Structure 1
């Protein structure tokens, strides 16, 4: 009987000590009054490693327009131009500049370990 009473008292103590709200300072999501409006772009061209890519996007409310490009391993430049108007979804147009170039395949020499003499 004493054990049951001790367990009940322990459960009540744990329930009373538990915080009613999270301890990490929860705040509700802010309600934005105005639709988003921004414009950004970036580009990377590294002749040493061969990287060439970039992105540009502009948004005014529910109208978004942008494009991005990347230099493909076969030497072509792939460009994607896209728009998003409200609920119409993502509409993209993909184009390529240049002609694909493939290097001649040359197999690497087979690995032959040096003999080990005991």
Structure 2
């Protein structure tokens, strides 16, 4: 009976002595209460394949502004300027530069000659 009491008292002593917080400098998880703020851009121009496109955007809180462009297959450059402000939604202005160029149609199939 004395041995059981000694074991119970030892367990209580260990439980009381255990630290309530980790000793390695615990810090709580960060909260992300601040609104987003960033700025980025990129562009690609490859003369070999004809790819030409890019994008730029900046955001401060709920105010977002940006633009992107792409060289279309018909030779025109399509530009899109946009803004987003809170709940107003995505407001875009699309413009085109240049004239559409359509090359003359080339027959893609020539039948094989027949021999009689």
> TM > 0.5 between the two?
yes
In the alignment, structure 1 segments of 5+ residues that lack a partner are: 1-29, 114-118
Q: Deviation of residue 109 (structure 1)?
A: 2.9
Aligned with 1:87: secondary structure? Answer: helix
Aligned with 2:109: secondary structure? Answer: coil
**Which deviations, in whole Å up to 9, do the C-alpha atoms of 1:30-78 show, x marking residues without a partner?**
7411000000000000000000000000000000000000000000000
Alignment RMSD (CA, Å):
2.0
Task: Give the structure 2 partner of residue 33 of structure 1.
Answer: 33
Taking the TM superposition and a 5 Å limit, the aligned residue runs for 1:1-118 are 31-110=31-110, 112=112
Aligned with 1:66: secondary structure? Answer: strand
Aligned length, in residue pairs: 86
Q: Deviation of residue 111 (structure 1)?
A: 5.2
In the alignment, structure 2 segments of 5+ residues that lack a partner are: 1-29
Aligned with 1:105: secondary structure? Answer: coil
Q: Deviation of residue 93 (structure 1)?
A: 0.1
Q: Deviation of residue 84 (structure 1)?
A: 0.1
What is the CA–CA distance in structure 2 between the aligned matches of 1:92 and 1:51, rounded to whole Å?
23
What is the CA–CA distance in structure 2 between the aligned matches of 1:58 and 1:51, rounded to whole Å?
24
Deviating beyond 2 angstroms after TM superposition, the runs of 4 or more aligned structure 1 residues are 109-113
